[in-house]
């Protein structure tokens, strides 16, 4: 298995040093480099990690998908724009409450409700 194939199958979804071997230890003899990375992850990160929930497990209705497409586009654009402004100092941190208010106006609460409702349906399927 190549490094890319291994990462796709067993590594957490992150970039750079944040990648952690989460699901399986490689065989030391077959790939000592991957084994070393996995061993370090096991020792230094595993005790503190929880695998993240994968959004692709959720099954949205067609109506939810359509609404999410609009909400996520608007919210993601606004968040990225404001993140840059906060980081560069164009926007003062004192305006954080205005930022949150604008997120609510754009529909962040509706987005959270759609995702929460879908997650609740998903949990019912597991029972």
Average pLDDT per 10 consecutive residues for the chain, totaling 127 residues: 63 52 66 78 71 72 95 96 96 96 98 94 80
- 21 touches 42 (CB < 8 A): yes
Note the pLDDT of residue 118: 92
pTM: 0.59
Residue 42 contacts by C-beta under 8 Å, 6 or more apart in sequence? 21, 25
3-state SS, residue 89: coil
Asked if 40 and 11 touch (Cβ cutoff 8 Å), the reply is no
Q: What is the pLDDT of residue 111?
A: 97
Cβ contact 67:114 at 8 Å: yes
Instruction: Report pLDDT for 29.
Output: 78
DSSP classification of residue 32: H
Angle between helices 62-88 and 96-106 (to 10 degrees): 160
Tell me how far apart the terminal alpha carbons of the chain are, to the nearest angstrom: 35
């Amino acid at each position: 298995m190549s490094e890319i194939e291994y990462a796709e199958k067993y590594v957490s979804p992150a970039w750079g040093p944040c990648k952690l071997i989460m699901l399986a230890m490689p065989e030391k003899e077959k790939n000592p480099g991957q084994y070393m990375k996995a061993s370090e992850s096991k020792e230094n990160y595993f005790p503190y990690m929880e695998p993240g929930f994968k959004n692709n497990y959720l099954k949205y209705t067609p109506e939810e998908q359509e609404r999410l497409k609009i909400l996520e586009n608007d919210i993601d654009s606004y968040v990225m724009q404001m993140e840059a402004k906060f980081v560069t100092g164009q926007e003062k941190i004192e305006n954080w409450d205005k930022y949150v208010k604008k997120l609510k106006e754009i529909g962040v609460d509706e987005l959270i409700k759609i995702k929460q409702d879908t997650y609740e349906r998903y949990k019912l399927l597991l029972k």
